Amino acid sequence: MDIPTNAQVLPKRVKRVWLLKQLIIMLVIIICLVAAWYFAIKSMPNFWQRWFQIVGGVAVVISVIPMILIPYRYAFNRYLMAAESVDIYQGFLFRKAELIPLNRIQNVRITQGPISRLFHLNNLTIVTAAHNFSINYIDNHTAQNLRQRLINAALQAREVAEDE
Amino acid sequence: MNKRRRQHPITILIELISLIKAFFFPIIIFVILRHSLSVGEKVLIMIGFIVLSTLFNLIKWFYFTYEFNESEITIYHGIVNKQQIHIPFERIQTLTREQPIYLQPFELVNLQIDTSGQGKPDAVLKAITVKQVTKIEQQRRLMQTKATDLTQSRNAEASEPSTTKKAQQHSARYQIKFRDLFIYSLTSLSGFGIAGAMFAAWTQFDDLLPNRFKTIVNQFLLQSSFVLLGVLGLFALIIATMIVMFKIINRYYQFVLVRDGHQLTIARGLLSKHTMQLRTSRIQAICVAQTLLRRLFRLQTVTANLAANKKEDSEDESQTVIVPVIKTNRSQKMLQQLLPNFKFDIPVQTDSRIKAALWLRLRFIYGILLAIVLSVVVVLAVLSHQWQWHILQQTEVLSFIVVMIMGLCILILSQTLLWSHDQSIAIKDDMLMLQTNRLFTKRTYYIKRDRIQGMQTRAWYGLLKRRQGAHMTIVIRDSDAFQLIKVYYIQTAIVEDIKTWLLTDK
């Protein structure tokens, strides 16, 4: 489960994307907390106000943690196009590795949300007969290149069901 | 064969009833709430609704026609937007024939045609004659046999005669014995669920019941002794068990599974007769399940994950049952006969997990339990301090909490011991066998290599580096979604072996 040395890293600007997304989440949490304070909690007894301040504070602190962890997330978020499979690796302390054999791939999708578009990044979704899995935030050139390689590999692979 | 046909006119009535069923509550509420309308006007609205619905269904029925020739079925429907659906016989994955009790006197059936195994069936022909369905089934079988023969003859040019040809010529049959079905229904624990649901329903709906009735019941309950209440509880449980038994017997009565070459036909049902035809190649995995109670009686249930639409009837079931009940000592031989393309004689190997697996799992589950208990205690302590509750100082409450926690600890310990005893992994040729135990149910999965869609491994640093272990998940297709089969605390060397085995699929 160790990350192979030839595994690909994501483009560096992905760190800014993650930061921006986390800032948006934090902003939404703060807006909700402020709205709840003015419209409901302010008129409640002190006991509830104190608890609201504690819970709200914890929520804001929790939303900051992913921002601190961005360098860690970047260092241990990699993918590998091996000869027989696509592998995705995530995490160091809590590790997760996914493996999809190339001959199970049915199709490949490239999607781009507003934030990804702003940074010229793409999400590559690999579709099997059962599930989807994604390599998020790769640059345009790599996405097109990977897509072509995956489709070629899937076409060359033996058809799974002998009578289908 | 080339004649356009309509569904039986009874379809108009069936559709009308389902439409009335769907709109029954909205109409009743509308009629009751409209105090300004007289009784006559309300009756008129109801009659108008029924007449309009009948007219709509009549036109819908008139414009719904179907025909089939040697190669395909064509369905024409739509009143404003005309649609034609062409379904070639070779592409049909599953044909499901359903005969509800009200169609039995007319010898009519509903037929579902599914080609993709994704989402809804491609077409549903309602209330058509058994003769027509038989013709469709025969034609489909004929066309698919031709297609398979063609593929096999192409393969034969390059290699020696394939073994699938031999398998195709063989046939196998399984029929349920009523005695086994009875024991199976008796050992279903769903009765407890229904009894619980009855109790929950009472607590939910008692607000809606008339006060007089509620008072009588409450007085009766307060005045009754524990023995009488126990007897009442037992009685409710017996009734619930009987309901479950009837449901199971109704569902699996005269269950017959027949394999004819690559075709499987499953027929079952007492009140509503149900027949499903599918190709063996649609089977993604076989699961042999055994609850703790059925383990005592040495009974097993075999289900299959299919790449086919599973919403074949209204009864919700996660997997398609291949063998509802079979004795443990007979299951392997029977399954091998029914599904010769699978291998079931894979020896169980329990040494695939790391040495400290049991300890680590217990530590993990008890850790979660401890965290939950501590959080609850802290919240209760804060609330009692704020509102002077003194709830934690009451001996009854404290002893109840302690007894509950102890019971939970014993349940967790016994489940984890069973998990430790049962979990195993084995590989034989192109088959993977995974055995798990979750919620006291032992499940053994048999999966062919080319049906595994992906593999996931997870581990925290200590488990991976110090213990050389990881958790492994196998992804397989299940209907139009997926199923994850998880095994825990596996030696990393074995995980690597499985990864290599999975990728050597040529």
Q: For B118, which DSSP code?
A: S
Contact B281 A158 (CB under 8 A): no
Contact A99 B495 (CB under 8 A): no
Report yes or no for ipTM above 0.95. Answer: no
SS3 of B405, please?
helix
Query: Which pLDDT value is given to residue B481?
Result: 83
Contact of B410 with B418, CB cutoff 8 Å: no
Query: Which pLDDT value is given to residue B205?
Result: 56
> Is B414 found in the same domain as B435?
no
Pick the residue with more confidence: A108 or B28? A108
Confidence bin at B312 (pLDDT 50/70/90): very low
Of B404, B420, B436, at which residue does a domain stop? B420
> Is B450 found in the same domain as B407?
no
> Is B442 found in the same domain as B386?
no
Q: B469-478 and B431-438: which strand pairing?
A: unpaired
3-state secondary structure B8-74: CCHHHHHHHHHHHHHHHHHHHHHHHHCCCCCHHHHHHHHHHHHHHHHHHHHHHHHHCEEEECCCEEE
Q: Is residue B469 part of a domain?
A: yes
The set of residues, in sequence order, having a beta carbon less than 8 Å from that of B470 and lying 6+ positions away, is A1, B457, B458, B459, B463, B464, B489, B490, B492, B495
Q: Could you tell me the residue range of the domain that residue B492 belongs to?
A: 423-503
Q: Is residue B148 part of a domain?
A: no
Using CA atoms, how far apart are residues B84 and B73, in angstroms rounded to an integer?
10
Contact of B300 with B322, CB cutoff 8 Å: no
Using CA atoms, how far apart are residues B447 and B431, in angstroms rounded to an integer?
6
Average pLDDT over residues B421-438: 93
Q: Is residue B197 part of a domain?
A: yes
Query: Which pLDDT value is given to residue B317?
Result: 53
Contact B464 A92 (CB under 8 A): no
> Is B455 found in the same domain as B474?
yes
Contact B151 A131 (CB under 8 A): no
Confidence bin at B309 (pLDDT 50/70/90): low
Distances in whole angstroms, Cα of residue B129 to Cα of each of A69, B92, B116, B368: 66, 20, 25, 58
Q: Which amino acid is at B30?
A: F
Confidence bin at B154 (pLDDT 50/70/90): low
Of B210, B234, B249, at which residue does a domain stop? B249
Using CA atoms, how far apart are residues A71 and A65, in angstroms rounded to an integer?
12
What is the dihedral sign for C-alpha B39, B41, B42, B46? positive
Residue A87 has pLDDT above 50, yes or no: yes
Confidence bin at B47 (pLDDT 50/70/90): confident
Q: Find the residue in B nearest to A90 (Cα).
A: B458
Confidence bin at A149 (pLDDT 50/70/90): confident
Using CA atoms, how far apart are residues B234 and B486, in angstroms rounded to an integer?
37
Using CA atoms, how far apart are residues B121 and A15, in angstroms rounded to an integer?
45
Which element (helix H / strand E) includes B463? helix B461-465
Place of tokens 């135990």: B437
Contact of B97 with B111, CB cutoff 8 Å: yes
Contact A129 B502 (CB under 8 A): no
Query: Which pLDDT value is given to residue B210?
Result: 64
Per the structure block, which two tokens stand in for B397?
């409450």
Of B376, B397, B420, at which residue does a domain stop? B420
Q: Which amino acid is at A144?
A: Q
Q: How many domains does chain B have?
A: 3
Task: Tell me which residue in B164, B464, B505 faces A95 most closely, judged by beta carbons.
Answer: B464
Partner B, chain A 132-161, Cβ-Cβ below 8 Å: 133, 158, 160-161
Q: Is residue B31 part of a domain?
A: no
**A/B interface, count of CB pairs below 8 Å:** 86
> Is B499 found in the same domain as B427?
yes
Residue B161 has pLDDT above 90, yes or no: no
Q: Is residue B200 part of a domain?
A: yes
Helices then strands, counting H and E runs in chain A, come out as: 5, 7
Mean of per-residue pLDDT scores for chain B: 83
SS3 of B443, please?
strand
Q: Is residue B238 part of a domain?
A: yes
Task: Tell me which residue in B147, B164, B453 faces A128 most closely, judged by beta carbons.
Answer: B453
Query: Which pLDDT value is given to residue A31?
Result: 96
Average pLDDT over residues B337-362: 88
> Is B408 found in the same domain as B368?
yes
Q: Is residue B310 part of a domain?
A: no
CATH code assigned at B499: 2.30.29.30
Using CA atoms, how far apart are residues B319 and B328, in angstroms rounded to an integer?
20
Contact A163 B476 (CB under 8 A): no
Query: Which pLDDT value is given to residue A162?
Result: 43
Query: Which pLDDT value is given to residue A164?
Result: 43
pLDDT in tens, B92-123: 888 888 888 888 888 899 998 887 656 677 78
Residue B185 has pLDDT above 90, yes or no: no
Average pLDDT over residues A68-83: 92
Q: Is residue B133 part of a domain?
A: no
